[in-house]
Structure 1
Amino acid sequence: MSRQISEAAAEEERRVLGLKPVLAPVHRSYGEHPSQVYDLWPAEDPDAPLVILLHGGYWRYNRMHLTPFAAYLAANGFTTVLPEFRRSGGDGGYPGTFDDVALAVDTIPAGRTYVLAGHCSGGHLALWAAARGLLPAESPWYTTDLPTAVLALAPVTDLAGAIREDLSNSAALELLGGADHAESRLPVTDPLTLLREKGSTGVPTVVLHGAADEEVPLEQFGDYMAVHPEAELVVLPETGHYTLIEPGSPASRAEIDVFARLSRHEKG
Structure 2
Amino acid sequence: MLKKMRRTLLAAAMAGGVGGAVVATAAPMTLQDYLALSGPAPTRHVAYGAAPSQFAELFQPAGEGLFPVAVIIHGGCWTKEFGGITQMRNMAGDLAAQGVAVWNVEYRRYDEEGGGYPGMYHDVASAMDRLRTLAPEHKLDLSRIVLVGHSAGGHLAQWAGSRARLPRSSALYVADALPVPVVISLGGLADLRNEQALIKTSCDRDMAQLAGVASAARPDIFSDTSPAELLPAGVRTVLIHGEHDTISPPRVGQDYARRAQAAGDAAEVLVLPGGSHYDEVAASSPSWAIVSAQIRKALGL
TM-score, normalising length: structure 2: 0.76
Structure with bigger gyration radius = 2
Q: Distance in 2 between matches of 1:143 and 1:164?
A: 33
Unaligned runs of 5+ in 1: 1-7
Larger displacement relative to structure 2 (134-143 or 204-213): 134-143
**Matched residue SS, 1:89:** coil
RMSD: 2.5
Letter of the structure 2 residue corresponding to residue 159 of structure 1: L
Correspondence list, 1:196-211, <5 A: 200-211=232-243
1:154-201 superposed Cα distances (whole Å, 9 cap, x missing partner): 111211244223131125442224699997311110011222xxxx21
Please list every run of at least 4 consecutive aligned residues from structure 1 whose deviation after the TM superposition is greater than 3 angstroms. Answer: 142-145, 177-183
| 2:30 matches 1:12 | yes
**Matched residue SS, 1:174:** helix
Q: Distance in 2 between matches of 1:82 and 1:254?
A: 20
Aligned to 2:226: 190
Aligned to 2:285: 249
| 2:88 matches 1:73 | no
**Matched residue SS, 1:44:** coil
| 2:203 matches 1:168 | yes
Aligned to 1:108: 131
**Matched residue SS, 2:70:** strand
Q: Distance in 2 between matches of 1:158 and 1:98?
A: 15
Pick one of 125, 135, 156 that aligns with 1:125: 156
Pick one of 57, 76, 87 that aligns with 1:57: 76
**Matched residue SS, 2:203:** coil
Cα separation, partners in 2 of 1:58 and 1:109, compared to 1, 3 Å? farther
Q: Distance in 2 between matches of 1:189 and 1:211?
A: 27
Asked whether the 8 Å contact 1:136–1:142 carries over to 2, the reply is: no
**Matched residue SS, 2:210:** helix
**Matched residue SS, 1:228:** helix
Aligned length: 253
Q: Distance in 2 between matches of 1:256 and 1:21?
A: 16
Asked whether the 8 Å contact 2:48–2:127 carries over to 1, the reply is: yes
1:92-139 superposed Cα distances (whole Å, 9 cap, x missing partner): 000000011111111224462321111011010010111112221333
Correspondence list, 1:23-34, <5 A: 23-34=41-52
Correspondence list, 1:223-234, <5 A: 223-229=255-261, 230-234=266-270
Larger displacement relative to structure 2 (181-190 or 20-29): 181-190
**Matched residue SS, 2:241:** strand
Q: Distance in 2 between matches of 1:55 and 1:172?
A: 19
Asked whether the 8 Å contact 1:76–1:256 carries over to 2, the reply is: no
Q: Distance in 1 between matches of 2:39 and 2:195?
A: 28
Letter of the structure 2 residue corresponding to residue 27 of structure 1: H
Asked whether the 8 Å contact 1:115–1:263 carries over to 2, the reply is: yes
Aligned to 1:40: 58
Letter of the structure 2 residue corresponding to residue 66 of structure 1: M
Deviation of 1:222 after TM superposition, in Å, equals 1.7
Asked whether the 8 Å contact 2:238–2:270 carries over to 1, the reply is: yes
TM-score, normalising length: structure 1: 0.85
Letter of the structure 2 residue corresponding to residue 35 of structure 1: S
